[in-house]
Amino acid sequence: MNKNLRTASGVLLFGTVLICGCTPVTVSFELFGREKKLAETVVSEDDRATWKIAVIDIQGTIVDANLPPFFSRGGNPVDDIVARLEMAGADAGVKAVVLRINSPGGSVTGSDEVYREVIRFREKTGKPVVVSMAEVAASGGYYVSLAADKIVAHPTTITGSIGVIIPTINFSAGLAKIGIVARSVKSGPNKDLANPLEPMRESQYAVLQNLVDQFYDEFKAKVKSRRPNLDMAKFGEMTDGRIVSGKDALALGLVDSLGGVRDAFEEAKQLAGIPSAKMVKYQPEGSIRPRTPYASADELPLGAAMQMGTGSGAGGTEINMLQVNASGLFPNPGPSASCAYYLWLAEVP
């Protein structure tokens, strides 16, 4: 094989499946990285369409890190998004972009990087960007939306969750009960911030709170600057971390209109000044071609999870018995990671 085995972050997953009957069963794992070359597929088009509008999916956790191929789609989410923006920018036939967001957010840095790349795309190419919110566009998903010219939310979209979190956990009290005591040898009092094995120290949490406040102020500043029609009387409420429906987001001024991906497509055509267009998606070569604007442009023939096939040969029926989707997991899981996130935690299993 000429493909490189992608690192699985030291994690191996084993599935135990109860099988009835004597039907031959095969189990396969996808262990290899995806091809980075992208191909274009038309997923919808108007009559007599000449120009194109690219639909780019932003799904799952937004992080600038390589996720294991066992989890979700694998790869680096920021890299995947930027590669598609570059492809849309280089194509003179593409007159606008629709960002289809279905994400609970992600890391502070990853979300900000995507935000900056969307701003850069608009400034460099002059092509408008419209966000189409799907089921969830919360926290970092909303942060990225702020970079667009227009935001279209479905009435039942879950959005908002404007805020920052640094998750920590502490085991010291439980360990002490069984006679285990930890002590770090460190160069300074804050070298082991939020160490989960030693008693909690409020002075250290004050350091983390300062970071949270800094990132939170930046988030709120972007909301104010990018959403001029906000209901400022309710600004404190809408930025306290709560989630809202797409319908409520419209009333608060967080989004511009209600509708689905086709409504965002119409908005993009209007901003681009074109009467008709084709909707296109970019998928890695060798992956399943998306059939409609709602299809993911990243699915491999057998998916990114364990697959089970019944029967034998090419005519066997493929049955997905176990699918592992960890797109909501933190990219660097661990109680002492102390990473900052624009993330709606209800999406974490």
Judge whether 159 and 249 are in contact, CB under 8 Å.
yes
User: What DSSP assignment string belongs to 126-162?
Assistant: ---EEEEEEEEEETHHHHHHTTSSEEEE-TT-EEE--
Q: To the nearest 10°, the Cα dihedral for 261, 326, 2, 315? A: -70
**In 3-state terms, what secondary structure has residue 12?**
coil
Phi and psi angles of residue 122, each rounded to the nearest 5 degrees, phi first: -65, -45
Contacts of 275 (CB under 8 A, 6+ apart): 46, 269
Q: Could you give the residue numbers annotated as active site?
A: 139, 191
Nearest CA among 253, 272, 21 for reference residue 153: 253
List the beta bridge partners of residue 160.
Answer: 138, 243
List the beta bridge partners of residue 309.
Answer: 26, 318
